[in-house]
Structure 1
Amino acid sequence: MSKIKEIYAYRQMIVSLVRKDLRGRYKGSILGFLWTFINPLLQLMVYTMVFSVILRAGIDKYYLFLFVALIPWIFFSASVTSGSSCIIAQKDLVKKIYFPREVLPISHVTTCFVNMLLSFIVIFFVIAISGVGINISSVLYLPIIMIVEYILALGMAMIFSALTVYLRDLEYILGIIIMAWQFLTPIMYSIDIVPENIMPIFMANPMTPIIIAYRDILYYKQIPQVSTLLHAFILGIVFLIIGNIIFSKLQKHFAEEL
């Protein structure tokens, strides 16, 4: 509780870092903040062409099936990959002044979370033009699964941001890990096609129940199963606890390593 109170006392610093990151992310580019919407749309076009035209996934309104899972995945992957270097990126700050080091991964993940929320404008627009519509009862569960994913992303960001200070190559290794992780998560395909004998592996993936919940809410227009939400929540909390333990142990020597 003392750590939570300390981080809360530095909430203005978190807000300032998030604002700075959002303003500076596309600084100097012609399209600027529009890239928040353009990037996922371009990925959507490529994946839709590959899986609905070339490989023929045979899923009705595949673009929507994919999009409602792709946006949450982009948030998670950005939180982990670029989050791994968030301590190194602020090394001058870490070496000069005292503040809870947890502020840095929290501010980074929050920035990615804000970007995801903005991208959901596009999701609801795509849902509207698709004619699928929404189920108000199921959409009420959307904030719950978003918070669960935020918790998971923060736990992962804390783990890898702390480890990367000591192992700089991890920043590059993560690119390969995230690419493999994406294909082991039911984003571009349905969980129903996964063979029964390897299903336990897929369900051990913390992003699997999260993606299933997003798809239930926005594509199938149904309330996610309690077991799915509970599964996602437990995995999220577990990784946040692990992340906090690792971060707390390693942060003692951040200034020396940087």
Structure 2
Amino acid sequence: MVNTFKEVKAYRQMLISTIRKELRSRYKGSFLGFLWTFVNPVLQLTIYSIVFPLLLRNNQENYPMFLFVALLPWIYFTTSVQISTTSIVGNANLVKKIYFPRIILPLSVIGTNLMNYIFGLIIVFPALLITGVSLTWHVLWLPLVLLVETIFILSISLIFSALYVRFRDLEHIVSILVMVWFYLTPIVFPIDIFPAKVEEAMHYNPMVPIINSFRDVLLYGRAPEWSSLLYSAAVGIVLIIVGLITFKRCEKSFAEEL
């Protein structure tokens, strides 16, 4: 693990350059260009805000913001995991031609989507204020919550990106997994609509404390529930160790498998 960190540090300029390149090229040639960073989540917000209150007969106060502060970190999670899964295979020519720490590839995907989330806050903060939400000093916990989510995203991304080189069906499995995961996480509904036993079981989903923490610091103006957030952080750290071990073992045969 220490060697991996040293390698990433040594190749940090490559990581930064890759993220910059991805940010510039993601919407290159499109009419709206960089504005798609804001348009995509706003369109999803609009659809969910109209459809789900009708389907669920949801009377959640300030539902658009209840949804929005959870939707953006969820997009960060799903986009990072899905793109990271194919990041090694998608850069096969680069992997086979030159040496660099292969972990740079999933890291660059996560870094790019992290920047997109941060840009999305340009909409979130004004929207909260416009809808009457008072931001408190607890918003300062936001970087910590984001760090916990990023650790969890990295752990999943390392495992999936390494395994996908050998098991190409994993891409389809991940798509299904993400879809199911969405409905096991209180993005479009409050978790307390479920019976007590179901609600208790859902808290074992590491994304539940993370999403709840985003709502706590942004929407409700309070500190995260530390014990729950610590659980998500612990799961992320354990999985990151598993992910690093898996990635390093698979990395040796990347060129052959590709």
Give the TM bin, normalised by the shorter chain. Answer: over 0.9
Please state if 1:5 is matched with 2:10: no
Please say if residues 87 and 105 of structure 2, whose CA atoms lie closer than 8 Å, have aligned partners that are also in contact: yes
The one-letter code sitting in structure 2 at the alignment partner of 1:207 is M
Query: What's the TM-score once normalised by structure 1's chain length?
Result: 0.96
Could you list the runs of 5+ residues in structure 2 that have no partner in the other structure?
none
Look up the match of 2:114: 113
Please say if residues 192 and 199 of structure 2, whose CA atoms lie closer than 8 Å, have aligned partners that are also in contact: no
Look up the match of 1:127: 128
RMSD (Å) for aligned C-alpha atoms: 1.2
Look up the match of 1:48: 49
User: CA offset at residue 245 of structure 1?
Assistant: 1.5
Please say if residues 184 and 202 of structure 2, whose CA atoms lie closer than 8 Å, have aligned partners that are also in contact: yes
Look up the match of 2:79: 78
The one-letter code sitting in structure 2 at the alignment partner of 1:109 is I
User: CA offset at residue 79 of structure 1?
Assistant: 0.7
Look up the match of 2:209: 209
Identity rate, percent: 48
The one-letter code sitting in structure 1 at the alignment partner of 2:188 is M
User: CA offset at residue 191 of structure 1?
Assistant: 1.7
Please say if residues 95 and 102 of structure 2, whose CA atoms lie closer than 8 Å, have aligned partners that are also in contact: yes
Give SS of 2:128's match.
Answer: helix
The one-letter code sitting in structure 2 at the alignment partner of 1:170 is L
User: CA offset at residue 172 of structure 1?
Assistant: 2.1
Look up the match of 2:198: 198
Distance in 2, Cα, partners of 1:254 & 1:199: 41
Please state if 1:61 is matched with 2:62: yes
Please say if residues 76 and 114 of structure 2, whose CA atoms lie closer than 8 Å, have aligned partners that are also in contact: yes
Instruction: Encode CA deviations 1:200-248: one digit per residue, 9 max, x unaligned.
Output: 4312211111001001111111111221221221122122112111111
Look up the match of 2:34: 33
Please state if 1:227 is matched with 2:227: yes
Look up the match of 2:100: 99
Distance in 1, Cα, partners of 2:194 & 2:15: 41
Could you list the runs of 5+ residues in structure 1 that have no partner in the other structure?
none
The one-letter code sitting in structure 2 at the alignment partner of 1:250 is C
Matched residues, number: 257
The one-letter code sitting in structure 2 at the alignment partner of 1:181 is W
Give SS of 1:140's match.
Answer: helix
Distance in 1, Cα, partners of 2:136 & 2:51: 29
Query: What's the TM-score once normalised by structure 2's chain length?
Result: 0.96
Distance in 2, Cα, partners of 1:171 & 1:208: 24
User: CA offset at residue 52 of structure 1?
Assistant: 2.3
